[in-house]
Amino acid sequence: MSQAIRQSVSWDGRGNWALSGGAVGGLSRAGLHRMREVLAGYVESGAVPGLVALVGRGDQVHVEALGTLHAAHRSARRSGARPDGPAGGGSDGALHGASEGAPVGAPMRRDTLFRMASLTKPVTAAAVMILVEECRLRLDDPVETWLPELANRRVLTRIDASLDDTVPARRSITVRDLLTLTFGFGLVPAPPDTYPIQVAVRERGVIGDGTANWPTVGPDEWIEQLGALPLMYQPGERWQYHVGSDVLGVLVSRVAGRSFGEFLRERLFEPLGMVDTGFHVPADRMHRLSTSYAHDPETGELTIWDEAVGGKYSRPPVFEAGGDGLVSTVDDYHAFHRMLLNKGRHGDERVLSRASVELMSMDHLTPEQKVEKDRFGDLFGRHGGYGFGMAVRTRRRDLASVNQFGWDGGLGTTAYTDPAERLTGILLTQTAMDCADTPRLHQDFWTTVYRTLDD
């Protein structure tokens, strides 16, 4: 057995380190053992340096921490590439993948910090619903009241049109459009620079990709740059990934009169006890942040996407990205999902109304709006539906129940809740979903999660 596996730990929410026979709280001990074996296989094979996994049902919580924070082999090279793009500028392989924050071989722990990537989106949607409940926002209000940069939109006549080949928008962009990612602007399912709008987006730097490629300018300048471009589709016409969540972060900040991060901390993170969640990692916690890896598209080797010390999360960002900016731990994010599972309650405190959670976790898309989403196949199309900031399962095509909700992150994270089973699963890795290994790991994790059910 490899050193990484020997360093792994296993425990449940009550501190039980040894597992044997039977079931506890509706979770099968045999199923939990099987989950550990499957996850350990991915670490042992080198597909991921390490991971932290959680399965929770009722009051029973089981956590696995396997492997290391940083890859210990010489093939972990620096890369200037995006996880979904070509590798570039790597070193000669001399790097061992460790940051100064923690030594090579430092084991994954329950409190290890991960870049959550697009698991930020449901949190952003919850923040918007807090403002809706306070009547400071309304779902079908035009956002131009708060975001005048998005008033009087022009829309491309077709996706491959020149930027001046436009027609007036039929209506204003609404809060609902942003929550459902149907406001008319987002990632294009085509190779880079295929269309003029993609070139303009790249040149203006107004769009991320769900992998913490945040804008390099502040929110006011970013929304101004976005407003200078035409929409790709009419508001409400089609689901397009990612950008709507970044716009929501700017909207929340303007409505609340303080930074997006401050609002999240006061209204979500502090009430939920999410003490390690935010848009950067303080210096005294840097040793808990794992290195983030992508894959060289030619060799498949791990390349360093983001270091811990000196990396993107080592300092506050100029743009707090509502689409993919948060860093968190498995327990912090479980607190958020458990609140949703409990219809907005956390202990004795109500964070969201039951009605808001139900609205967030129901499908809001028409078949016509889903055309773009379903083009992404198993990545975005497998769930069937989309609510506010997260997927909603509308059909059963694997072990998960209908009405399961949650999302995945391009840097290797996945989290869903199944209300029918009172079940939450979270898997955090530091390896991007830019090759087959990480999606397979996610799929096998979810298979073993449902194998733990014992009633």
Compute φ and ψ for 49, nearest 5 degrees: -65, -35
Predicted confidence band at 212 (pLDDT cuts at 50, 70, 90)? low
Burial of 445 (0-12, 13-18, 19+ CB in 10 A): buried
How remote is the C-alpha of 166 from its chain's centroid?
33
DSSP notation for 62-122:
EEEEEEBSS--STT-EE--S-TTS---S---S---S--TTS-TTPBP-TT-BEE-GGGHHH
d(CA 213, CA 249): 15
Residues contacting 393, CB < 8 A, separation 6+: 383, 384, 385, 400, 401, 402, 403, 404, 405
Q: What is the mean pLDDT of residues 26-36?
A: 94
Provide the mean pLDDT of the chain.
87
- Residue 287's region, left for phi above 0, alpha for psi from -120 to 50, else beta, is alpha
Q: What is the mean pLDDT of residues 196-215?
A: 79
Lowest mean pLDDT among 92-96, 135-139, 194-198, 273-277: 92-96
**More confident of the two residues 351 and 454:** 351
Burial of 85 (0-12, 13-18, 19+ CB in 10 A): middle
What is the per-residue pLDDT across 88-118, written as a single tens digit (0 to 9) for each? 333 333 333 444 566 667 999 999 999 999 9
With a pLDDT cut of 70, the percent of the chain lying above it is 85
**More confident of the two residues 157 and 24:** 157
**pLDDT for position 140:** 97
What is the per-residue pLDDT across 371-413, written as a single tens digit (0 to 9) for each? 878 776 666 657 779 999 999 999 888 898 999 999 999 999 9
Q: What is the mean pLDDT of residues 265-284?
A: 97
Cα 428 to Cα 109, 406, 415, distances in angstroms: 11, 14, 8
Closest CA to 119 of 397, 369, 454, 427: 427
Residue carrying structure tokens 């990537």: 117
Closest CA to 382 of 391, 390, 348: 391
Amino acid identity for residue 257 in this structure: G
Q: What is the mean pLDDT of residues 288-306?
A: 92
Identify any residues that bridge with 55 across adjacent strands, giving them in sequence order: 62, 425
d(CA 312, CA 321): 12
Predicted confidence band at 55 (pLDDT cuts at 50, 70, 90)? very high
DSSP run (H or E) holding 455: none
Considering the entire predicted model, what is its pTM?
A: 0.90
How remote is the C-alpha of 263 from its chain's centroid?
19
Q: What is the mean pLDDT of residues 324-348?
A: 97
Closest CA to 184 of 405, 417, 394, 369: 369
Say if residue 174's pLDDT is above 60.
Answer: yes
Compute φ and ψ for 50, nearest 5 degrees: -170, 175
| 67 token code pair | 């492997």
Say if residue 245's pLDDT is above 90.
Answer: yes
| 84 token code pair | 């979904």
Say if residue 17's pLDDT is above 90.
Answer: no
d(CA 425, CA 407): 11
Cα 362 to Cα 1, 228, 358, 415, distances in angstroms: 44, 33, 6, 17
**pLDDT for position 99:** 42
Q: What is the mean pLDDT of residues 221-250?
A: 96
